[in-house]
């Protein structure tokens, strides 16, 4: 499958920069997926989980609280205010990331539904990694 460039930036630095096959973003109007050669698009993101499908079919998840996604034909730039990536080499690292993510979820004073779905997604993302 064709790949494209994805950048995820937070005020504390870049948390993702690389080639991906597809990415699913939590748009303000609902979740949407992006593949290579997507038409230009700018939209707001709400609290939720970004699923990144990498070239090796591995899926990485990043929890965000607010953001902007700028999509064009060659690349996707996502600017987020706060983010926690669910990744790690060992079980302890993953569970630590999961805890951080949950702490951030508690901070987001948003609608209950979004949080519930995000937290369910986090659990599955973590399980898939193990």
Which spans of this chain sit near another protein (rule: CB under 8 A)? Answer: 7, 9-14, 27-29, 39-44, 66, 68, 70, 72-73, 77, 79, 81
Across 1-130, where does the E strand assignment appear?
4-10, 13-27, 30-35, 41-45, 48-54, 59-64, 67-71, 75-80, 83-86
CB of 49 to another protein, least distance (A): 19
* Phi, psi (deg, nearest 5) at residue 97: -60, -40
CB of 37 to another protein, least distance (A): 10
Q: What's the min distance (Å) between Cβ of 77 and another protein?
A: 6
Contacts of 92 (CB under 8 A, 6+ apart): none
Pick the closer one to another protein by CB: 55 or 74. Answer: 74
Task: Identify which of residues 41 and 103 has a Cβ nearer to another protein in the complex.
Answer: 41
């Amino acid at each position: 499958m064709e790949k494209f460039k994805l950048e995820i930036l937070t005020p504390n630095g870049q948390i993702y920069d690389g080639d991906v096959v597809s990415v699913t973003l939590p748009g303000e109007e609902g979740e949407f997926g992006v593949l290579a050669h997507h038409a230009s698009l700018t939209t707001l993101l709400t609290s939720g989980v970004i699923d990144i499908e990498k070239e090796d079919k591995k899926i990485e998840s990043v929890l965000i609280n607010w953001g902007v996604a700028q999509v064009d034909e060659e690349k996707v730039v996502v600017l987020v205010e706060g983010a926690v990536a669910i990744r790690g080499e060992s079980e302890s690292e993953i569970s630590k990331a999961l805890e951080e993510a949950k702490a951030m979820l508690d901070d987001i004073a948003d609608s209950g539904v979004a949080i519930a779905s995000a937290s369910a997604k986090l659990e599955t993302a973590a399980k898939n990694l193990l």
